[in-house]
Chains A and B, each alone.
Chain A
Amino acid sequence: MINARQIAVVTAHPDDETIGCGAQLPWLTGITIITVTNGAPRDLIDAHARGFASAQDYANARRTELRKALSIADIPDHDSIGLDVPDQEVASNLGASTRALCEIFATRQTRLVLTHAIEGGHPDHDAVALAVRATVALYARSGHKISIVEMPYYRAGVRGIVYQTFVPPAGRQIRVKLGAWEQERKREMLAAHASQASVLAGFSIVEEKFRVAAPFDFRTLPNRDQLLYDQYSSRLTGERWLALAVAALREFDLAPVL
């Protein structure tokens, strides 16, 4: 067991914590899990597909699932914090998300954050990565150092979508091969997110990957301009993402490279 009181996992959706580092969580006592969205888009498409009448019902179900998943990793409710931003809308709430993270990091004296890699896969993932980096940069002004470790989820590849692989050059990454016990825990945690079971079935439970976050220029698009959200969804374009990212950094008077 590791005393992880000063470590936080900041991810976009209930289930991202399990995909990214679920197998590590049982070892990290006192870790804080921060879930930025409620996992329920306002447009109700996903809610209705899964048989929920309203976004709130869907969000409640996802919160319950998250609680169940975290209980498998022995993480108590009081160490799990939800910012309740609607799914798909973190990019439009970068300022509020950053301020909320600042408050939590201060209260919990966070020194290390595990979060999404910037990969152009899901708009909320990139937006959470930006909010974390902005928060860390704001802390750096007062002389406090917080380290960021990032985790890959999915992004556009040369042939189709690439899962759980960093955007090249991957640099120095830590690949943690999961043992039988860890795989079993991770499988249970994924199963706890029952409403997402069909989607989560594709994610690997064999290993988890981490690397120290390198500076990123938020005036440029991730993944060599190959954005899944640009290609597959009309909710957010690359152009809009750049505008929102630059505006958020300007709001906090931060440099575009974080």
Chain B
Amino acid sequence: MQRKLDAYIGEIARAVVPRRVRRSLYHAVLDRRIERLPSRRFIHQTLLPLLVNADCANLLFVGIQGYNRQIARTCARFGLTLWTIDVDPAALRWGAPGRHIVGDVRAIDQQIARGFFDATIMNGVLGYGVDDPEGAQAAIRALATVAKPNGFVIIGWNPGRVTDYRDLAVVHKSLVPVQLGGLPTSVEFPPDAVQSHPHRYDFYRVR
């Protein structure tokens, strides 16, 4: 009965609501669902406070979309200065005002001075834009360059969905796994309503 009702409502919505509005609503709902996932709430509730406790002031967040737009507010609340970068020009609307870079993370070291950031977070980029090992290698190298020596590089990714980046030479050469606060060197969340693969965060310091 409920399914029939949903289908009926869907049909009416398709007939009455313009496609643009429908798409916008769909994305708004999806954004809400994603930002409520435990793997995303972890960033706001655990990761950012731990970075603040570790005396981080300047943070780079790679890959900004509607579902992680709240990160700017969280950073402001904690007194973190947030910079964002996304290759998609449409992501500009979610970026840090005046500190959003429309560009490729692999070339961030051409935009920002070496050793500037206290921490960089690249979440959901590997496999979602940076797809091949060469790209991952270049992205991690660029992040290790713009992060301070001993600064944090945090990589969020989906094991099983993308090639394991941890064997890349740049990881061994430039990064050291690190425990952040009371956390182990990585934290993994099981598959959820949106993602069919686990979501894992690996914590590193730059050598």
Contact = CB atoms under 8 A, between A and B. Distances in A.
Given A48-B113, A161-B93, A231 B99 contact: no
Given A48-B113, A159-B28, A159-B66, A228 B97 contact: yes
B72 A49 contact: no
Contact of A198 (B72, B111, B116): B111
Interface stretch (B42-50, B76-84, B136-144): B76-84
Interface in A185-205: 197-199, 201-202
Given A161-B93, A232-B72, A202 B113 contact: no
Nearest to A155: B97
**Majority secondary structure of chain B interface residues (helix, strand, loop or mixed):** mixed
B95 A50 contact: no
A38 to B, nearest CB: 15
A49 B100 contact: no
Contacts of A159: 24, 28, 66, 93
Interface in A126-167: 154, 157, 159-163
Interface string A187-227: 00000000001110110000000000000000000000000
Nearest to B69: A160
Contacts of B66: 159-160
A162 B95 CA distance: 11
B89 A232 contact: no
A48 B116 contact: yes
Nearest to A45: B81
Contacts, number: 68
A154 B94 CA distance: 12
Interface size class of A (residues with CB under 8 A): 20 to 34
Among A121, A197, A233: residue with most chain B CB under 10 A: A233
Interface of B: 24, 28, 58, 66, 69, 72-73, 76, 79, 81-83, 85, 89, 92-103, 111-114, 116
Interface of A: 45-46, 48-51, 121-122, 154, 157, 159-163, 197-199, 201-202, 228, 231-234
14 contacts: A45-B81, A49-B58, A49-B83, A49-B112, A51-B113, A121-B97, A157-B93, A159-B93, A160-B93, A161-B92, A162-B93, A198-B101, A199-B99, A201-B103
